[in-house]
Amino acid sequence: MIGIDIGGANLKIVDDAGVHIHYCPLWQGAPLAGLLEPYAGSAAVVMSGELADCFSTKIEGIRWIVGTVQEAIPDAAFYGTDAAFHTRPVPGLAAANWLASADYLREEYADAVLLDVGSTTADVIPLTRFEDLKGLTDTRRLQKQYLVYTGMLRTNVATLLSSVTLDGTVTPVSTEYFAASADAHLVLGHIAPADYTCPAPDNGEKTVDAALRRLARVVCADIDEIGKSGAHQVARQFWEVQRRVIGRAVGRALFQGDAERVITAGIGADLFARELGCATLAQEIGEVSDALPAYAVREVALRRAACD
């Protein structure tokens, strides 16, 4: 049994050999079937890639993903927001990856809120309320602040900043895609260059100097106009807003879910564990926490098979 999580940008697979992460931008026609071919056996699958803008509707994306997976792995079952497995493309398969994580963790961490910060989004999941989570769409999760659409790598810096203060002067930002959250986190030391796994906004280098140049462009400047210190100010102010937005959603979930603690996962796990003073899931289950939905859906499927 293998576990598969198909996002719009990344394909994550967990098998007996460990975690395998492939950059797989569906909107650019990435060869999903070819990437899956080396992995044999039955599979438990979750997805969120149906929202990629190469699909005109979510059900179109679901049908394509299910069909493509079954080409490579005929014996594949797909976990839905009803917490059940399906072998046909149904609407409830859309964005069920977070629920698979909750399904796996809900007994051992029944008093916790899970914060899973990935490349694109942050999932805020009150494990105290699993039954209430069933059937939630991404739209409903946005409304409840269970889905916060900002992540460690792919977020346009200008989506969280309307202006920055440069040496005391309030400066509106450009809304062009000049810099990504990966640029801010790289220059702040939150990630290493090797962690910058998505393309840079300018398709350029993934170095600190290149990231600083991109951050300067957010205020329509070159580095020689605002200096490296000015670009650092853009990065710090982006991080301050991102931290506040995600922290506010976590606090809301703690209060409404009557939870007692937070546990973090995803590529932002260590950073947010330091910020929130909590433990990471990696300390509990190891490297598979980097591909939590893929690992979780595999474990849920195995548990159910053992009970049948």
| Residues 181-199: tens digit of each pLDDT | 999 999 999 999 999 999 9
Ramachandran angles phi, psi of 14, nearest 5° = -125, 125
Token match 């899970």: residue? 114
Please say if the pLDDT value at position 307 is more than 90. no
Kind and range of the H or E element at 125?
A: strand 122-126
The answer to whether 22 touches 35, Cβ cutoff 8 Å, is yes
What average pLDDT does this structure show over 78-85?
A: 97
Q: Is 263 helix (H, G, I), strand (E, B) or coil?
A: strand
The answer to whether 114 touches 129, Cβ cutoff 8 Å, is no
Please say if the pLDDT value at position 168 is more than 90. yes
Ramachandran angles phi, psi of 172, nearest 5° = -60, 150
Least confident stretch, 38-42, 190-194, 209-213:
38-42
Please say if the pLDDT value at position 152 is more than 90. yes
- Average predicted confidence (pLDDT) for the chain: 95
**Which band of pLDDT confidence, cut at 50, 70 and 90, is reported for residue 25?**
very high
What are the tens digits of pLDDT across the range 254-278?
Answer: 999 999 999 999 999 999 999 999 9
- Beta bridge partner(s), residue 117: 122
Please say if the pLDDT value at position 308 is more than 80. no
CA of residue 213 relative to chain centroid, distance? 26
Ramachandran angles phi, psi of 79, nearest 5° = -85, 135
Query: Given this model, what pLDDT does residue 290 score?
Result: 83
Q: pLDDT: is 290 or 130 the higher one?
A: 130
DSSP assigned state of 232 = H
